[in-house]
Structure 1
Amino acid sequence: MNNDRGQSLQIPQKTTLRAGHIYVATLRSVIETDFSGEIKHRFIYEVELEKQTFHVKRNISIVATDKQLSISEWLKRHSNYSVNHINYEPYIDQQHLILVGEYRESYYVEDIAPLNEFGGILK
């Protein structure tokens, strides 16, 4: 397409998340959900890309099996993890790097890496 000055214009592509990519995300909330009798906690992370906001979730079972992470294992990957925490409040609004995965055309948080208060990666 050309504009009125004869210059070629490209239609902007919609920015979206992509599986296998890493993004800076903020944990916004954790809610309890029931999946056919299995109680899980849903961690909802927010990613902002070029003025668009995406919510990416990770469901962690209350009773982890051999092939699942426990909630305490998931929280150990958060920058401000403490065994003394009794609720999720200290984790809300903390930033992390998240690896986005895709399953059945839905995005989820595959893994996270903690960031410190200045945005640097913790070891």
Structure 2
Amino acid sequence: MALKRDKHDAVFSELVRERTNCEFHEYLNYKNGELIWRRRKPANGESIKSVNIFNSNYAGKKAGSLDKTGYIQIKIYGINRKAHRVIWEMHYGPIPVGMQIDHINHIK
């Protein structure tokens, strides 16, 4: 993956960045090119029951699903995020304003 100029203006990019800022390492592991859900612990008023249900259904399993354009998306805190953007941010930090991720081979 590489950075390239975003087609959106800087104000829009900054708004998206603020809304989607998240510590992805708390929720996901990156292994062999895939994002895997981590086991969760109760936080921010979550019930132990809901955390146990999440862990039994998702922990250790591949995260995400295909969106209508063929990209893998992952929902965290009710916000869908593209997997390639999450992976970039896990390795390099926030995507700079005005930039977007471009796959080196230009394949999704």
Q: TM class by shorter-chain length? A: under 0.3
> Relative contact order, CA 8 A, sep 6+: which one is greater?
2
Q: Choose between structure 1 and 2: higher helix proportion.
A: 2
Q: TM-score, structure 2 length as denominator?
A: 0.25
Q: TM-score, structure 1 length as denominator?
A: 0.23
Q: Choose between structure 1 and 2: higher strand proportion.
A: 1
